[in-house]
């Protein structure tokens, strides 16, 4: 009986307990949710717990962590119309954030505002190799990652697997 009561309590206070912001204008969605965490406000929360936040200082809309990990090539395709966020906010062109956008959001309190930040996330910023003379530049073999737990940049080979969090603007 104790176990049953514990699970009921956990479920009732989990992210899936209350949906909000699933329809209306952006301002109406924010008002419906009524959740503010520093410089971030909750725009929507789905029945499956997907949360979408707006960074009030930059104006960027931050999606939740995509469930699967991807290599860099797959991560760019992961921010398309098939992500759950695209079904909630249809007017946004979702994409990978730049490493600068991650750094800026960290200053605005992203780690404490957004859930599921203890992963490494792909950025759209490639690591530039110094060119040698006038040779044709090869495609970059590495890209910047954002270490959500440590709140710092890192680099990874494009074939490595990492998490994805998509951004967009209205």
Number of domains present in the structure of the chain: 1
Domain at 164, CATH number: 3.10.100
Task: Find where tokens 């759950």 sit.
Answer: 84
pTM for this prediction: 0.83
Residue 89 lies in a domain: yes
Residue 4 lies in a domain: no
Nearest to 168 by CA among 72, 19, 74, 64: 64
Q: What is the pLDDT of residue 139?
A: 58
Q: What is the pLDDT of residue 32?
A: 95
Residue 118 lies in a domain: yes
User: Which residue stretches of the chain are H helix?
Assistant: 2-12, 26-33, 72-78, 84-88, 99-107, 110-113
Nearest to 125 by CA among 87, 62, 167: 167
Residue 48 lies in a domain: yes
Residue 93 lies in a domain: yes
pLDDT digit string (tens) for the chain, length 170 residues: 555 444 443 443 444 459 999 999 999 999 999 999 999 999 999 999 999 999 999 999 999 999 899 999 899 889 987 889 999 998 899 999 999 999 999 999 999 999 999 999 999 999 886 666 556 555 568 999 999 999 999 999 999 999 999 999 98
Q: What is the pLDDT of residue 137?
A: 57
**Domain containing 151: what range?**
19-127+140-168
Residue 1 lies in a domain: no
Residue 3 lies in a domain: no
- Cβ atoms 55, 62 nearer than 8 A: yes
Distance CA 106, CA 99 (A): 11
Residue 14 lies in a domain: no
CA distance to 78, 122, 136, 167, per residue, from 126 (Å): 17, 10, 17, 17
């Amino acid at each position: 009986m104790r176990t049953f009561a514990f699970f009921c309590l956990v479920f009732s206070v989990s992210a899936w307990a209350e949906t909000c912001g699933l329809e209306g204008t952006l301002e109406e969605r924010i008002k419906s949710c009524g959740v503010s965490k520093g410089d971030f406000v909750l725009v929507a929360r789905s029945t499956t717990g997907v949360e979408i936040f707006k960074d009030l200082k930059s104006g960027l809309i931050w999606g939740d962590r995509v469930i699967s990990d991807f290599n860099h090539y797959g991560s760019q395709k992961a921010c398309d119309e098939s992500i759950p966020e695209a079904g909630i906010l249809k007017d946004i062109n979702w994409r990978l954030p730049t490493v600068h956008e991650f750094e800026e959001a960290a200053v605005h309190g992203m780690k404490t505002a957004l859930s599921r930040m203890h992963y490494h996330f792909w950025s759209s910023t490639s690591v530039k190799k110094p060119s040698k003379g006038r040779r044709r530049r090869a495609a970059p073999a590495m890209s910047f990652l954002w270490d959500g737990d440590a709140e710092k940049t890192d680099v990874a080979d494009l074939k490595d697997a990492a998490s994805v969090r998509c951004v967009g603007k209205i």
